[in-house]
Amino acid sequence: MLSNYLKIAFKVFLRRKIFTLISLFAISATLVMLMVGVAISDHIFGPAYPETRADRTLMVSMLKASHSDANRNSMSPTSYGFLDRYVRNLPHVEKVAISSHSLMALIQPVISFHDGAQIKSALKRTDGVFWEILEAEFLEGQPYSIDDVEHGRYVAVINEATSQAFFGQSSALGETIEIAGQRFRVVGVVANVPAFRLASFADIWVPVTTVPDLKALNYTSIPGAYEAMILAESVADIPRIKEEFAYALTQVEFPNPERFNQVAGGADTLFESISRFMFSDDLSESHPQRLLAVMIALVVLFMVLPAISLVNINVSRIMERASEIGVRKSFGAASTTLIGQFVVENVLLSLMGGIIGIGFTEVVLYLLSNSYLIPYAEFHINYRVFVYGLLMAMFFGVFAGVYPAWKMSRLHPVEALRRK
């Protein structure tokens, strides 16, 4: 039975070339946009190099300081001293790394000169634990150590792109680079970190103790320029760490209580952090379920609209086959048999469109990766995106095929023959 359905489907596709091409274009174009969006989202929120432990990693990146009796507030990264005091020693934490804020690296690049050429680099100052949380791929050398940070040694880890910009194909190990008026000895070269990995992204990493104003590291004020990366001992410990950090915020001693006397924020994943900024004005709570619901609603809406168009196309396509339906019903064809045939045709058409869409998605992601719009980003279709694409194609096939097939299968044979 199925083989007959498939044979009829291919003959119908070839006989109705215009309908077939329109349907394939609608399906493949929609799937391309959806799968590109899914691939980018997976690249941002999923575990990926060098943040391979994202499932048990939390960030404290932004806090909101305010005053209970005055209309005064500040939403910003916080100081190194604040994070060192209130985050470093949280229970159920395996490791805590403190570094300069990633957005600072993006929006305030440092300037270097090499052979008369100006080189802009994203600079991140970190402690030694930073490299113990990440799983960076070292192409040369090794990370600087906790001892290097404690003694304020002027050493640096650079990425592959920076190594090539300064030293070409020569080894960078032991070489010196000048960054923002400071000279650092290169001790390691890592594979480029994509800009979407906000907790770890930079071109150059140096010890936090090389900051020009060392006294600033002791400040415990809330406004500052640092963030903390927390590695939980296990995924099960994450809820407790969130609660413990929330409690720690209630115990904050404010250096200047006349300016600020309360603080809000959380230890979040990136997804939770975005939901906190979108749905909580005072940053007191994150709303990941609400953000997920909005994303799902947008995807469903985006898929339903072209699916409705395909329903209309399918109705027109099936109406042209009214005489065929009338003849088959006159010879005793059951409604379920006709519905089965039309659904198989639509599922097959949707799978063809899905395969075309996956192919074009790979091309779009390749072009996007090589456009350098997003530094060091490498987008590709992995098995999750591939499965999502096939599920989307099946959705189109069933949704766009069932109603037109059901409607036409209910036609009386005489009425169907009159539509010839």
CA–CA distance, 381 with 415 (Å, rounded to integer): 48
Is residue 349 within 8 Å of 397, Cβ to Cβ? Answer: yes
For 391-404, what is the mean pLDDT? 69
Residue 313 has pLDDT above 80, yes or no: no
For 268-272, what is the mean pLDDT? 92
- pLDDT score recorded for residue 334: 65
For residues 218 and 394, the model is more confident at: 218
For 66-88, what is the mean pLDDT? 89
For residues 33 and 335, the model is more confident at: 33
For 123-143, what is the mean pLDDT? 96
pLDDT category at 94 given cuts 50, 70, 90 is very high
- pLDDT score recorded for residue 405: 66
Chain centroid to CA 208: 28
- pLDDT score recorded for residue 18: 75
Single-letter amino acid code for the residue at 381: I
- pLDDT score recorded for residue 22: 76
Nearest-5° Cα angle at 254, 252 to 259: 135
Residue 2 has pLDDT above 60, yes or no: no
For 88-101, what is the mean pLDDT? 93
As a whole number, the mean pLDDT across the chain is: 84
pTM of the model: 0.82
CB neighbour class for 350 (10 Å; exposed up to 12, middle 13-18, buried from 19): buried
CA–CA distance, 31 with 21 (Å, rounded to integer): 15
Is residue 356 within 8 Å of 28, Cβ to Cβ? Answer: yes
- pLDDT score recorded for residue 335: 63
For 120-131, what is the mean pLDDT? 95
- pLDDT score recorded for residue 418: 58
Q: What is the dihedral of CA 214, 219, 225, 227, to 10 degrees?
A: 110
For 37-63, what is the mean pLDDT? 89
For 310-319, what is the mean pLDDT? 67
For 105-128, what is the mean pLDDT? 89
For 390-413, what is the mean pLDDT? 67
CA–CA distance, 151 with 156 (Å, rounded to integer): 14
CA–CA distance, 59 with 65 (Å, rounded to integer): 18
Per-residue pLDDT of 7-16, as tens digits, reads: 655 566 666 6
Nearest-5° Cα angle at 157, 152 to 161: 150
CA–CA distance, 146 with 167 (Å, rounded to integer): 27
Per-residue pLDDT of 238-251, as tens digits, reads: 999 999 999 999 99
Per-residue pLDDT of 198-219, as tens digits, reads: 899 999 999 999 999 888 898 8
Cβ contacts of residue 241 below 8 Å, gap of 6+?
A: 58, 90, 91, 92, 93, 230, 232, 267
